[in-house]
Amino acid sequence: MSTADAPARETIRLDGPAPRLLLIQAPYYAEIVGGMRAGVERVAAEAGASLDIVDVAGAYELPATLRMALNAPPNPAPRWDAFVLLGCVIRGETDHYDHICREAMSGVMQISAETGAAIGCGLLTVHTEDQAIARSRDDHHNKGAEAAQAALMQLGLRRRWGLA
């Protein structure tokens, strides 16, 4: 599916308390990640969710930071109901791209499968900056908005099944 085929999605509305989201972002490409963050902020506002934001150095740090957030002491309930991860890795002239993309995504998937946490992953792994820009614009192709939608959908399932 190309970005031209991306579906427009309505914001998820959840029963129960307002969702508490944590956005973990790697703003190495500030303009691109900023565009995706704006998508997350829009979806969070439409869903009536609170949103905390933390920055990490790069995509490689996303899984470890997610794990730290999941292990953060409750106060008295868990601090966040769902998590959104944002970053961008653009292919360069070395194999750095392959290693970072594989390890970051593998780490996130491992945490997701182990914990069942409500996670939306918006880590762009693209060949060109133009591809990244196309996925961070203020339209229905915005991967930050899609990641926030995914996190809210997962949270909805957790609530439906009595896990949250």
Least confident of 86-95, 119-128, 148-157: 86-95
**CATH number of 19-160, picked from 3.30.450.30, 1.50.10.10, 3.40.190.10, 3.40.50.960:** 3.40.50.960
Asked if 99 is an active-site residue, the reply is no
Question: Which residues have CB under 8 Å from 1's CB, separation 6+?
Answer: none
Mean per-residue pLDDT over the chain, rounded:
93
**Is residue 59 marked as binding?**
yes
Q: What is the pLDDT of residue 1?
A: 46
Q: Pairing mode, if any, of strands 118-126 and 20-25?
A: unpaired
**Is residue 93 marked as binding?**
yes
Domain boundaries, the chain: 19-160
Tokens representing residue 129 in the block:
């900056």
Q: Is the pLDDT of residue 114 over 70?
A: yes
**Is residue 88 marked as binding?**
yes
Q: What is the reported pTM?
A: 0.93
Tokens representing residue 94 in the block:
């070395």
**Is residue 65 marked as binding?**
no
Size of the chain in residues: 164
Q: Which of 96, 99, 127, 140 is catalytic?
A: 96
Question: Which residues have CB under 8 Å from 121's CB, separation 6+?
Answer: 84, 85, 105, 108, 147, 150
Q: Which residue has the tokens 């991306």?
A: 6
Across 2-27, average pLDDT: 83
